[in-house]
A and B are shown apart, each in its own frame.
Chain A
Amino acid sequence: MLVLNKINKSYSENNVIKDFCFNFNLNQIYKLSGPNGIGKTSLLKIIKGILIEDSGTIKFKDKEKYRDKVSFVDSNNRSFFHRLSVKQNLSYFIALNKLRYEDEEIKALARELKIENLLDRSFSLLSMGQMQMISLMRGMLEKPKILLLDEIFSNLDEKNIAIICKFLSDFIAKKDSLIIFSSHAKDLPFDISEEITLER
């Protein structure tokens, strides 16, 4: 279980997250919703450790050191080396996270996401939607127990949304893990355990 207790975060005078408490259970998918600027991305970034909370505690399975079990995937397609190929990019990020993969394992994951044909392409030649799929793949290569997805459906067509939703449903069914995602998209084709609406 991932337990967030009395999380507070403010930027200058602006108190974005105030006393947020929630228990996230394993094998569940949670949706964060709420208007722009309400703190959805900040909350996800705090869970990953990209941002540090002003106060409060976060524990995963009763441990405070859990961040290497978290993957954060967002819709920022600039977070790759555009002049390198997809495979070269992934190899670098695999090394950055001290992981090891055989070529066949990478291909197998790409096959599941139906992007095997993109591996040898230059990243700069991909469409926004394809970049988003590669971004998710990079996150999955980190072997996460907690998968955080920030607005990843925004650049995707219906076909790719369906592929991702099926992939995420399979992931949750097979692994002892949880997914928290933020999105403005409605009627996504997978089972959401709970929707958490952030309010002022």
Chain B
Amino acid sequence: MFFIAQIKKDFLWDFSYKISFFGQFFGIILTVFTFFFISRTFEDSASTFLQEYGNNYFLFAIVGISLADLITLSLRSATKSIREAQAFGYIDSLINSRINPAYLVLCSMLYPCIIGIIKIFLYFLTANLFYEFQLSAFNSLIVIILSAFTLFSFLGLGFIAASFVLYFKQGDPINFLISLVASALSGVLFPVSVLPEYLRNISELIPLTYGLDMIRKVVIYNSFENIDLQDLIFMGVFSLIFLIGGILIINKTIYAIKLKGISGSY
């Protein structure tokens, strides 16, 4: 099972840098601390924009930050692992192996995805120390599934970003754009209803908007009844279109770099 070998290798590699490995979890405490007191500052001035989220800005922000963290961590890992393979010199071993390149990129996102999901729960656990809230085991499972589903809708874009790095080596404009658009327009730190209509129209095209909305309602109300099937279908269709496009682009890119003989250059 290659994906297990990939997760194991990525863990061993990550864990070999002890300070960085443990350091990634310590930032959570500071983030939760900061957003707890930001939300306390505006606690008494109930916002109409936050009404559907029970006027709970603290949990609103924690869900936004933790899910955005998962998406960016996983997407960047795909381009980071390709960049490392180019720089260290094992890229040819990877793209000429018996594993399909798209599957290889997918597998390189699994370990960061696991870390991202662990971080989501650490965010919730730490948040619970500041503000007590209930989340049943079943709803926790729903949160994991929705998080993975939201991430899945970005998979195709991850393949396109990986293709860019395979061919052009430096720079990662795809992930930069995804991070920029997603964090500004999908409601990571503020509800999209605050945005002017023309920007709201754009945010409705971003799957993270729907993922965040659904997860927030599960966490804040400890209930999965607000999950909208239509939103899930939109995310599924979005995933499929970009996934097919991403696989086509990555296979074309590998053919192009083999033809030009630039796979090993960095």
Contact = CB atoms under 8 A, between A and B. Distances in A.
Interface of A: 11, 42, 45, 48-52, 54, 67-68, 72, 76, 78-84, 88, 91-98
B12 interface: yes
A52 B259 contact: yes
B96 A49 contact: yes
Contacts of A84: 9, 12-13, 16
Nearest to B97: A96
Given A79-B93, A80-B90, A84-B16, A96 B263 contact: no
A79 B5 contact: no
Most buried by B among A68, A72, A93: A93
A97 B13 contact: no
B5 A95 contact: yes
B26 interface: no
Nearest to B258: A52
A50 B88 contact: no
Interface in B9-34: 9, 12-13, 16-17
A78 B98 contact: no
Contact of B88 (A52, A67, A78): A78
B130 interface: no
B97 A97 contact: yes
Contacts of A98: 2, 98-99
Q: Main secondary structure on chain B at its contact with chain A?
A: helix
A79 B2 CA distance: 19
Interface in B232-266: 255, 258-261, 263
B2 A96 contact: yes
Contact of A52 (B1, B17, B255): B255
Interface of B: 1-2, 4-6, 8-9, 12-13, 16-17, 88-90, 92-94, 96-99, 255, 258-261, 263
B88 A92 contact: no
A50 B97 CA distance: 10
A96 B13 contact: no
B98 A68 contact: yes
Contact of B92 (A68, A79, A82): A79
B93 A96 contact: yes
A52 B252 CA distance: 13
B90 A78 contact: yes
A11 B88 contact: no
A79 B89 CA distance: 5
Q: Among B6, B16, B261, B263, which residue has the most Cβ atoms of chain A within 10 A?
A: B261
Nearest to B16: A83
Which of B13, B88, B93, B99 has the most A CB atoms < 10 Å from its CB? B93
A81 B9 contact: yes
A79 B88 contact: yes
Contact of B96 (A48, A54, A82, A88): A48
A82 B259 CA distance: 29
Contacts of A81: 9, 13, 88, 90
Given A49-B258, A93-B97, 5 more contacts: A82-B88, A83-B12, A84-B12, A91-B8, A95-B5
Contact of A92 (B5, B260, B261): B5
A72 B92 CA distance: 10
Nearest to B91: A79
